[in-house]
Amino acid sequence: MPPHPLARIVDQLKREPSRTGSIVITVYGDAIVPRGGAVWLGTLLTFFKALDIDGGVVRTAVSRLAADGWLARTRVGRNSFYRLADKGRDTFAAAARHIYAARPPEWTGRFDLLLLPNGSGQRDGLRDSLRNAGFGNPLPGLWLAPSGTAVPEAAGHAIRLEATVAPDSDAAETGRRLIAASWQLERTAEAYRLFVATFAPLRAFVQRADELSDIEAFTARILLIHQYRRIVLRDPLLPEAMLPPDWPGTAARALCADVYPALLAGAERWLDANAVCEAGPLPPPREALGRRFRD
């Protein structure tokens, strides 16, 4: 009998470097923010126990996130409750527009160019902020992204210009060369292919109406978004005409649109039964939750 598709996904997660802190942020952004924003640390420990991740590892990750300004803690008696701090909430809110849309945004034909003083754009923190925001770096001091990409606060001192490149214009080939130098598209494509290969058995499972327990549905939902957001946030979401043929990001988004809604009911039941905030059970989810990957 083949292994359960979720068991395969969890097994692959365990073979990767520890990303407990990143999964915690996914839990909050994906599942807790739509239901009030705060949850008891014990709820997180229960979830991570299902992933066979030690509670000490989770406590350490949560403490580090709080120390780094991603989470804010409230104590009620001996119990600790955490919510996303402004930094974490704003970061995930901006990311959500890329993650949950039914399709990538329409391209306007324009790129934003950021010009940074020599050397400043190569500092590790600033470089990571720009890349995580979707900017590519074709030349020293020059960063490029589709028009409208939010500029990280750390790059607020940059000079911002706009360039237009129509896919069928004489400048299109120059634009493609800039794109090739700005983003490692083949690495992103390979990550999408691995994502599809990893989660395709789960899609087949839920499409056959095979049942997952509520904790399995919640776990699958979180790991689906955790893995997908790691890729899509480094994808510049370029226009189709500027992408290689058969771009696998399209298949990855379609897979999410098939699987995520099928997991929601069971995942929300698990939260109803297990998750609490300072006032007791979590409030009901916002209506927008059910529209993810559909709007």
The pLDDT assigned to 258 comes to 95
pLDDT digits (tens, 9 = 90+) for 90-147: 888 878 878 998 887 676 778 888 998 766 555 667 888 888 778 888 888 889 888 8
283 in Cβ contact with 274 (< 8 Å):
no
Same domain? For 73 and 8 the reply is yes
Total residues belonging to the chain: 295
Same domain? For 119 and 248 the reply is no
277 has pLDDT over 70? yes
173 belongs to a structural domain: no
For 18, phi then psi, to 5°, come to: -55, 130
DSSP 188-203: HHHHHHHHHHHHHHHH
94 belongs to a structural domain: yes
Average pLDDT over residues 281-287: 93
pLDDT digits (tens, 9 = 90+) for 137-184: 888 888 988 887 778 878 888 888 888 876 666 666 777 777 788 888
Residue 147 belongs to what domain range?
Answer: 110-164
Note the pTM of the prediction, 2 decimals: 0.86
Same domain? For 154 and 274 the reply is no
174 belongs to a structural domain: no
What is the number of structural domains in the chain?
2
Same domain? For 133 and 246 the reply is no
Same domain? For 202 and 121 the reply is no
47 belongs to a structural domain: yes
213 belongs to a structural domain: yes
Same domain? For 214 and 266 the reply is yes
Same domain? For 210 and 157 the reply is no
Same domain? For 295 and 197 the reply is yes
Same domain? For 140 and 79 the reply is no
64 belongs to a structural domain: yes
